[in-house]
Amino acid sequence: MNRESGHDARSAGRGTKPLLAVLGLVADVVAIIGVFTNPSPSIAFVVLSCIAIVAGLILVVRLFGRPLGMLALAAFVLVLAGSVTLAVAVTMRATATGGADAAGDDGDGVRSPTTSAVATTTPSTSPSTSPTSPVTSSTGRPTTTSRPVEYQQPVSYPLELSQGVAVDLDSRQATREGGADFEFVYPGGLNKRLHFGEGAQVASGTDVTLVSAADASPQNCASSTRPQERYVSGYFMKDGDVICFRTTEGAWAAVNVREWGATGGKAGVMDVTLWKPQS
């Protein structure tokens, strides 16, 4: 009787191991997809990563001292993949809410943007003008001009930004405090995004849209049918896209993000083209 009971217990133990492997694998796959396709992963993906890690550790304990096999390999993969996914998810959530406290400054917490302006290589022969017909902005407010707005020749310059700074493109300032004249915040980290119109660091109601770099101009920015809200995520931008928006002084800016930066204080690198209105 005791032998039969022991045999049944061992059989039940063997049967739970594949189930643990399948459970952990499903949790890992869902967590990986959720984390790497969402710029701000929800807590559910963090929990799924933990489930995968726990399932893998239980398998390791149950297989300890036994010959290596497929289940042992599965346990290793579950723990490794779950740990990496958990670390990425936690980092992305932390930088999304606390980017302003991230490291990466040059003494005062800010890497100031480069101040030298370089004229574009192919300036137009006449000043740019905005369309005269009504245009609906990305915030839903119709904007109408009584006459065409003429713009100066565009200038282009690079920006190198520390994590957590707010940026004013008109004055080329970057500070952690920001203010009503600042257009966007660069959180840094793995988020791959710029924040517009939310929080005390930046102005509210900034019109933001996406256009292709080849089509960037005040006219095409104003008439773009790809408006963005609150933030722009690099994960959802197409190859060749630039981020286009009005500055607080009425200029149109096209921002091409060349490097989004990463953890460890690495700076974000961007190319800015600015069309200022004729005075």
Tell me the three state secondary structure of residue 147: coil
Query: In this structure, what token pair is assigned to residue 112?
Result: 């100031």
Q: Which helix (H) or strand (E) holds 179?
A: none
User: What are the tens digits of pLDDT across the range 215-238?
Assistant: 999 999 999 999 888 888 888 899
End residue of a domain, out of 100, 123, 141: 100
pLDDT in the model for residue 231: 85
Q: Which residue has the tokens 């500055």?
A: 247
Distance between CA 166 and CA 248 in Å, rounded? Answer: 13
Structure tokens at 196: 């517009």
* pLDDT tens-digit map of 90-140: 766 565 444 333 333 443 334 444 433 333 333 443 445 554 444 444 455
What pLDDT sits at residue 220? 93
130 and 251 fall within a common domain: yes
- Length of the chain, in residues: 279
Residue 35's domain comprises: 2-100
The reply to whether 29 and 145 lie within a common domain is no
Cα–Cα distance for residue pair 25/135, rounded to 1 Å: 50
User: Rounded mean pLDDT of the chain?
Assistant: 73
pLDDT at 132: 43
Domain identity same for 52 and 121? no
* Same-domain status, 166 and 111: yes
Q: Is there a single domain that holds both residue 23 and residue 93? A: yes
- Output 70 or 232, whichever has higher pLDDT: 232
Q: Which pLDDT score, from 0 to 100, does residue 119 have?
A: 35
Q: What is the pLDDT of residues 135-180, one digit of tens each?
A: 444 455 545 455 677 888 999 999 888 888 999 999 898 898 888 8
255/151 same-domain check: yes
CA distance 242 to 246: 13
Identity of residue 122:
T
- Model pLDDT for residues 182-227, shown as the tens digit of each residue: 999 988 877 788 888 777 788 876 789 999 999 999 999 999 999 8
Q: Which long-range contacts (CB under 8 A, 24 or more apart) does 18-22 make?
A: 18/71, 20/55, 20/58, 20/59, 21/55, 21/59, 21/71, 21/74, 21/75, 21/78
Cα dihedral 188→193→194→200 (10° resolution) = -70
> What is the tally of structural domains in the chain?
2
End-to-end CA distance of the chain: 97
Whether residue 154 sits in one domain with residue 89: no
State which of 79, 100, 121 marks the end of a domain: 100
Asked whether residue 85 falls in the same domain as residue 107, the answer is no
CA-atom Rg of the chain in angstroms = 26
One-letter identity of residue 129: T
Supply the DSSP string of 67-104, one letter for each residue: PP-HHHHHHHHHHHHHHHHHHHHHHHHHHHHHGGG-S-
pLDDT digits (tens, 9 = 90+) for 17-44: 677 667 767 777 777 876 666 555 668 7
Model pLDDT, residue 113: 42
Question: Would you state the pLDDT for residue 264?
Answer: 57
The verdict on 124 and 256 lying in the same domain is yes
Residues 59, 158 within the same domain = no
**Residues 85 and 172 reside in one and the same domain:** no
Q: Is 268 left (phi over 0), alpha (psi -120 to 50) or beta?
A: beta
pLDDT of 80 higher than 90: no
Rounded to the nearest 10 degrees, the angle between the axes of helix 43-63 and helix 2-37 is 150
Could you say which of 50, 73, 100 is where a domain stops? 100
pLDDT for the residue 209: 92
pLDDT at 230: 81
Is residue 19 located within the same domain as residue 141?
Answer: no
Calpha distance 245→207 (Å, rounded):
5
The token pair at 107 is 């003494």
DSSP 19-54: HHHHHHHHHHHHHHHHHHH-SS--HHHHHHHHHHHH
